[in-house]
Amino acid sequence: MLYSLYEAGYYAATPLRMAALMSREFWSSPLNPARETELGRSLYAASDLYANLTRRYGKPAWGLDEVSVEGRPVRVTAETAWSSPWVNLLHFRRDPAGLAAAGRAAPEPKVLIVAPLSGHHATLLRGTVRAFLADHEVYVTDWANARDVPLGDGPFDFHDYIDRVCDMLGEIGPRAHVVAVCQPGPAVLAAAALMSEDRDRNRPASITLMGSPIDARLSPTVTNRLAEARPFAWFQSNMIYAVPAPHPGAGRRVYPGFIQLAAFLSMNLERHQAAHLQYLQQLMAGDGDSAEKHLEFYDEYLSVLDLTEEFYLQTVDEVFQRYLLPKGELVHRGRQVRPERIADIGLLTVEGENDDISGIGQTRAAHELCRGLPPELKEDYVQPGVGHYGVFNGRRFEAEIYPRIRAFIRRTDPGFDTTRA
C-alpha cells in the first residue's frame, strides 16, 4: 500500500510540477524584461527548487568517455561483457591506440569493482571507476532495479549475489582483482572463500574490502543498532511492499529505494536542508556554477533503486542480526563458507576514521577470518578524516587511498611486472 501511495503522490504533484517548470522557463527567458529583477530571480529559484524536489530521478549516466593516462587523454567505451536479469557486467574498455601512445601497451591488471546493492545505482562509484581506469582494465557490477525485473525472471537473494560474483569472475578470467565497496564485502569474501577452496582457476588474485560490514558487531553505528533493536519480523512487516503497475516488476515484493533514501536523508537531515537552502540562495544570486555542483551531487544521491524482498531480508538476517560469516556459520548452497582456507588471495581492508555506516574494525575483521593467509598477503589501512563516502570517492580517496590499492594490486598480481609500476 505504501508504494502505491508514494506513486500516487508523485502523479498527484504532476500538475504543480508542470506549472513550476513553466514558471521556471518564463522567469529565465531572455525575452522577459523582469528576468534580472529580485522578484524574477526569486520566482525562478523557487520554481526550479520545487520542480527538482518533486521530479523522478532516473538512473544517471556514467559519463566516462575519456580518462587521463600518463597525462594523455584516452577514449573509454562502456561495453556489456556479461549479463543476467539482475546484473550487467560492464567493461570500461580503453582505446588500445591511446594506451600505446601513453606507453601502456602491455596488459594491465584486471579489476572487478563490485558496487553496493543498497539503494543507489552503481554510478555512485563514478569517481572510483575513473581513478582505477588510469591503471587497470576495469569491470563494474551494474545491478538491476528490482522494480524493473518482471516476476517471471524469478527471485534474487543474498546467495544468488554470491553466485553472480563467481560467474562474473569466471567471465573476466583467471586471477583478476576484486574491489568490494561497502555492502558487497561479506558476499565477496564468501565467493573468494568458495572459489579458493575449489582451487578455481578464476579465483581472484586479491580482494580489497572498503568500508564493509564483515563483522557488524564491532563499533556498531546507528545502522547496526537499528538492525539489532528490531526483531526480524518487524523488517518483514514494515519494510517490504509490492511494486505497483505500470512498472515491469509489478507485483514483485521489494524494499523500496525511497524508504532507503528517507533513511539516508534522516541521518543528516539538517545538512541536506541547509544544502537546498544554499542552492536556492545561489540561484537567486545568479551563482550558476555553485548551483550546478549541487545539482550534480543530488542527481546522483536522489536516484535510488529497489531491492528484492529476499535479498534485503537475508542481508538483515545473516549479516546484521545473526552475523553468520564472522561466527563461521554461513552456509552457501549446503556448503560451509570457510575464509580460513583462503591461501593465495591478497587481502586489503580500507576503513574511514569517521565512517558512520561501517564502524572501525568491521572491515578489518576479515583478517582474523582469513587466518590462513601469510602476512605478506595482508594489509590494513584506516584513512584519517573521512566518513563512509570518502572511503571510495573524493579528494582523499584519489590522493591517499587509491595509490595504496594500486600498489597492493600490483604487488599481488601474479602476471604483473612490478618494474613497470
Residue 182 within a domain: yes
Closest CA to 109 of 163, 38, 181, 178: 178
* pLDDT tops 50 at residue 419: no
Residue 403 within a domain: yes
| Alpha-carbon 252 to chain mean position | 23
pLDDT band at 392 (very low <50, low <70, confident <90, very high): very high
Residue range 292-302, pLDDT digits in tens: 888 888 888 88
- What sections of 148-184 are H helices per DSSP? 158-172
Backbone angles phi, psi at 340, to 5 degrees: -65, -15
* pLDDT tops 60 at residue 418: no
Place of cell 530521478: 57
What is the pLDDT, as a whole number, of residue 420? 44
Place of cell 579528494: 395
* Omega cis (within 30) before 15: no
Query: Which of these ranges, 10-19, 186-195, 324-333, has the smallest mean pLDDT?
Result: 10-19
C-alpha cell at 56: 523522478
* pLDDT tops 60 at residue 192: yes
Residue 6 within a domain: no
What is the pLDDT, as a whole number, of residue 375? 95
* pTM for the full predicted model: 0.92
What is the pLDDT, as a whole number, of residue 182? 95
Domain boundaries, position 372:
66-228+307-420
What is the pLDDT, as a whole number, of residue 339? 98
What is the pLDDT, as a whole number, of residue 237? 93
What percentage of the chain carries pLDDT values higher than 70? 99
Mean of pLDDT values over 8-16: 88
What is the pLDDT, as a whole number, of residue 106? 79
C-alpha 26/C-alpha 23 separation (Å) is: 5
What is the pLDDT, as a whole number, of residue 416? 58
Mean of pLDDT values over 308-319: 97
Residue 19 within a domain: no
Query: Which of these ranges, 49-58, 108-117, 144-153, 327-336, has the smallest mean pLDDT?
Result: 49-58
In the sheet with 253-255, reading across from the earlier edge strand, the strands are 241-242, 253-255, 307-308
Residue range 18-58, pLDDT digits in tens: 999 999 999 889 888 988 888 888 998 999 888 888 888 88
134 φψ region: left (φ > 0), alpha (ψ -120 to 50), beta (else):
alpha
Residue range 228-261, pLDDT digits in tens: 899 999 999 999 999 999 999 999 999 999 998 8
Residue 290 within a domain: no
Give how many domains the chain has, as a whole number.
Answer: 1
CATH number at 71 reads: 3.40.50.1820
* pLDDT tops 60 at residue 417: no
DSSP string over 254-304: EE-HHHHHHHHHHHTHHHHHHHHHHHHHHHHHT-HHHHHHHHHHHHHHT-B
Residue 271 within a domain: no
Residue 98 within a domain: yes
* pLDDT tops 70 at residue 110: yes
Three-class DSSP category at 33: coil
For the chain, the average pLDDT equals: 93
Closest CA to 201 of 336, 344, 349: 344
What is the pLDDT, as a whole number, of residue 128? 97
What percentage of the chain carries pLDDT values higher than 90? 73
Mean of pLDDT values over 80-84: 97
Query: Which is more confident, 290 or 67?
Result: 67
- Using CB atoms within 10 A of its CB, is residue 191 exposed (0-12), middle (13-18) or buried (19+)? buried
Mean of pLDDT values over 15-20: 91
